[in-house]
Amino acid sequence: MPGKSDTDPDDTNVETSGDRYKLQGVARALRLLDLLADAGATGFTVTELSQQLETSKSSTFALLRTLVAHSYATEIQPGPRYRLGRAVIRLADSLTEGLGLTEIGRPVMQELTARTGWTTRLAVADNGFPVFIDRVDGPGTIRFHTQLGRRELPHHSAAGKAIMSALDAGRIRAIAQETGLPGRTRNTITTVDDLLADLATSRTRGFAIDDEEDDEGVFCLGAAFLDRTGTCLGSISVTGLKRDIPTWRVRELGESVRAHADDISIGLGGPTWHEYLAGGKAPTW
| Spatial CB neighbours of 50, under 8 Å, sequence gap ≥ 6 | 56, 57, 59, 60
User: Tell me: the pLDDT tens digits for 27-38?
Assistant: 888 888 888 887
Helix/strand/coil (H, E, C) string of 209-233?
A: EEECCCCCCEEEEEEEEECCCCCEE
- Segment (H or E) for 237: strand 232-241
**DSSP states of 26-63:** HHHHHHHHHHHHHHTTT-B-HHHHHHHHTS-HHHHHHH
Report pLDDT for 84: 86
Kindly state the average pLDDT of the residues 176-202: 96
Mode of pairing for the β-strands spanning 129-136 and 218-226 = unpaired
**DSSP states of 76-87:** ETTTTEEEE-TH
Q: What is the mean pLDDT of the chain?
A: 86
Peptide bond into 78 cis (omega under 30): yes
Report pLDDT for 131: 92
Report pLDDT for 129: 95
Q: Which of 50-59, 72-81, 125-134, 263-272 bottoms out in mean pLDDT, i.e. has the lowest? A: 72-81
- β-bridge partners, 226: 232
The band of 9, judged by pLDDT with boundaries at 50, 70 and 90, is very low
| Cα 189 to Cα 181: distance, rounded to the nearest angstrom | 7
pLDDT above 70 coverage of the chain, percent: 87
Contact between 35 and 88 under an 8 Å Cβ cutoff? The reply is: no
Report pLDDT for 7: 45
- For the cut 50, the answer to whether the pLDDT of residue 5 exceeds it is no
Phi, psi of 140 (to 5 degrees): 105, 180
The burial class, CB within 10 Å (0-12 / 13-18 / 19+), for 193 is exposed
What CATH number should be reported for the domain whose range is 4-85?
1.10.10.10
Q: Which of 32-41, 59-68, 240-249 bottoms out in mean pLDDT, i.e. has the lowest? A: 32-41
| Cα 109 to Cα 104: distance, rounded to the nearest angstrom | 9
Kindly state the average pLDDT of the residues 58-83: 88
What is the Cβ-side half-sphere exposure of residue 128, based on CA atoms within 13 angstroms? 18
Q: Which CATH architecture has domain 91-278?
A: 2-Layer Sandwich (3.30)
Report pLDDT for 145: 66
Alpha carbon distances (Å) from 67 to 46, 54, 74: 13, 18, 8
Alpha carbon distances (Å) from 157 to 199, 215, 274: 12, 9, 22
Domain boundaries, the chain: 4-85, 91-278
Report pLDDT for 13: 53
What is the Cβ-side half-sphere exposure of residue 135, based on CA atoms within 13 angstroms? 16
Report pLDDT for 75: 87
Report pLDDT for 20: 63
Side-by-side strand order, sheet with 129-136: 129-136, 119-126, 232-241, 218-226, 208-211
Highest mean pLDDT among 40-49, 62-71, 85-94, 151-160 belongs to 151-160
Report pLDDT for 228: 85
- For the cut 90, the answer to whether the pLDDT of residue 218 exceeds it is yes
- For the cut 80, the answer to whether the pLDDT of residue 22 exceeds it is no
